[in-house]
């Protein structure tokens, strides 16, 4: 198995032999594409999925293409903090270290306010609180690796995001699906950037980055909008061209594997919604480090997770 470019505009993945990688949402879309690329490059890949049957299908696809691939499916429901903790505990028992965590899974734009198992607004809980808790809980495994990486998937919608500390769960305002989604993805960017700041301050070898896929055709545009509907609903007009997941995952792969990535940097398509990966611009709210630190403190309290103790 090699890390060669698989075709077209697809970015190369460096050799991952000997590295263990967790990809959340690996049963479809960009997560499935990322898991395939990591397996092709020689990594041991953990497909972290909510639906075991769909995970088994993704695993079968990997093994059909690369019979010697080291890959497995583990159940993870980011909308249930007990599931997040169970996943982290299980991986901690079975793995001595974790080299790369790819926070890819998410949900977008349900037609009304739904709640997670813990009572949080579904997009806030699935897109931010779940990945946040997972990252915190897996940090001891990551810090046991020589060169750990955390890459967190954001969204172009984060450009419109605003963090409302008075109503993070959309309980007091009229629910608006797209602003709620934008808030959750801006929070993901703060997660990545604040983790990078902590790693630098504490002298950790960990590199934390973020990425967005531009406009990529995945189940994300169907699963959320179709909730509560008798027939599938696809978000968007369909008039804009969309990349397929194998191309749309490019920025995430750069963030997770690139040799020259910058600590805390944000990557996305060159032209915003499309194009080859490059550094993405950060607007003023994205650069608000005070908000990032405050959000981290709030999320630790809400999820009952914490950073590993600083070494003296």
Residues noted as catalytic: 181
Nearest to 25 by CA among 4, 3, 48, 54: 48
What does the longest C-alpha to C-alpha distance in the chain come to?
57
SS3 assignment, position 37? helix
Angle between helices 130-143 and 289-303 (to 10 degrees): 90
DSSP tag of 33: H
**150 backbone φψ class: left, alpha, beta (φ>0; ψ -120 to 50):** beta
Backbone angles phi, psi at 108, to 5 degrees: -140, 140
Nearest to 29 by CA among 249, 236, 191: 249
Residue 203 CB contacts under 8 Å (≥ 6 apart), including other chains: none
What is the Cα–Cα distance from 106 to 124, expressed in whole angstroms? 10
């Amino acid at each position: 198995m090699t890390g060669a470019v698989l075709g077209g505009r697809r970015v190369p993945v460096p050799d991952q032999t000997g590295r263990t990688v967790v990809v959340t949402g690996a049963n479809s879309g960009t997560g499935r594409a990322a898991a395939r690329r990591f397996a092709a490059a020689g990594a041991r890949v953990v497909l972290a999925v909510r639906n075991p049957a769909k995970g088994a299908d993704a695993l079968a696809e990997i093994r059909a293409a690369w019979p010697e691939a080291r890959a497995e499916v583990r159940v993870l429901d980011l909308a249930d903090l007990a599931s997040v903790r169970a996943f982290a505990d299980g991986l901690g028992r079975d793995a001595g270290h974790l080299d790369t965590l790819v926070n890819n899974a998410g949900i977008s734009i349900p037609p009304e306010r739904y709640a997670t198992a813990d009572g949080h607004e579904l997009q806030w809980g699935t897109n931010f609180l779940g990945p946040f808790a997972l990252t915190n809980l897996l940090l001891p495994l990551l810090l046991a690796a020589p060169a750990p990486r955390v890459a967190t998937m954001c969204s172009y919608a984060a450009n419109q995001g605003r963090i409302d500390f008075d109503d993070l769960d959309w309980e007091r305002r009229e629910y608006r699906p797209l602003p709620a989604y934008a808030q959750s993805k801006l929070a993901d960017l703060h997660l990545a950037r604040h983790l990078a700041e902590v790693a630098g301050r504490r002298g950790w070898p960990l590199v934390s980055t973020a990425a967005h896929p531009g406009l990529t055709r995945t189940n994300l545009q169907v699963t959320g909008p179709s909730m509560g509907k008798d027939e599938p609903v696809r978000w968007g007009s369909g008039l804009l061209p969309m990349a397929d997941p194998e191309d749309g995952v490019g920025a995430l792969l750069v963030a997770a594997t690139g040799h020259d990535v910058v600590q805390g940097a944000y990557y996305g398509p060159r032209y915003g919604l499309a194009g080859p990966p490059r550094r993405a611009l950060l607007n003023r709210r994205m650069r608000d480090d005070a908000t990032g630190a405050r959000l981290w403190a709030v999320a630790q309290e809400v999820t009952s997770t914490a950073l590993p103790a600083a070494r003296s």
